Amino acid sequence: MKTKKVTITHIAQAMGLSPVSISRALSNQAGISDELKAAIVRKAAEMGYIKPKKHKPARILVLHQKPYSHDNSNFSYMVQGIELALQKAETDYSIEFLDKENQNKLILPYRLSRGFKFDGVILIGRFNLEYASFIHEQIPNLIFYTGYSPAYDYDSVWFSFLGAGYKQCKYLLDRGHRRIGFIGDPSAYRNKEKKTGITSALEEHGVPVDEKLFLGRDETLPLRLSALIADGQLPSAFICDHDFTAVELLRELQEHGIKVPGEVSVLSSGNTEVSAFSLPALTTMDLNIEYSCRTVVATLLKRIAEPGKPAENIAILSTLVERDSVREL
């Protein structure tokens, strides 16, 4: 037969005292005489009272490899969002910058090197696999926030660039655009995903994919853009991998006397502050950063509570923000 758990209320009833007095005595607080306090402690022991263990907050280490900069990038919002989510989850946490050189040398983060213990770690950005494995040996519960790679066998939360590319392309197609270009670093995994989304939308609508309109974001961009203009092959719309890429494109087009959105529409991603203040204001994709940060923390805490669960890859969908840089044909 299961023994009934003895509570403070039971002790109070047995001694004819208030639960508040019992609680103060068992917590060794002021306001109770030493004699009564001793009697309450004895009675609690006789009745088999077991003091509940205090909730111990999870200790979380957050590592990032990008220095803070005074710009409008979303990086600072991601770090702030993670910090706010950790606070709301009532965790103890530390945030550290870790440069590439220390990663390559497999040097422990400062707090780990000083003997601090953590229940989980959040890696913000693209850390190499060797270093992730090295950290995982020290802290068993690990999650990546952005910087996703299919090579990772860890929990991860990132943004669905495939979904964003598809949604952006369909948005343009629905407005009559058929010659749609893309600008972004082709080696970045996120841009490979975005290109897949764009080409999928084109193929579904029976629009041929023109690889000449997919340009890298490098020193050759101005020359390739000039060649398209000279040959009369400029697309009616460009999808850019990021707001900053779109701002650079606006400048290049302006130098060639090309009007946006009058002659070319521009669609970007990030919904950074610069997207709202550019001329014209950019139609862009909001990444839903605040929600993604809460998802990171919740997923890590779930991993801590259930270490044997399968790894999860959670891709957050972006939301279209319509402004002035896209016109309907």
> What structural domains does the chain harbor?
8-46 (no CATH), 161-287 (3.40.50.2300)
Q: pLDDT per residue over 137-163, tens digit each?
A: 999 999 999 988 888 889 999 999 999
Write down the pLDDT at residue 89. Answer: 95
Write down the pLDDT at residue 199. Answer: 97
Q: What is the pTM of this model?
A: 0.81
User: Cβ neighbours of residue 315 under 8 Å, at least 6 residues apart?
Assistant: 158, 159, 160, 162, 163
Write down the pLDDT at residue 95. Answer: 96
> Is pLDDT above 90 for 86?
yes
Across the chain, what does the average pLDDT equal? 92
> Is pLDDT above 50 for 1?
no
DSSP letter string, 64-113: E-S---SSS-SHHHHHHHHHHHHHHTT-EEEEEE--HHHHHTTPPPHHHH
Write down the pLDDT at residue 266. Answer: 98
- At 56, is the pLDDT very low, low, confident or very high (cuts 50, 70, 90)? confident
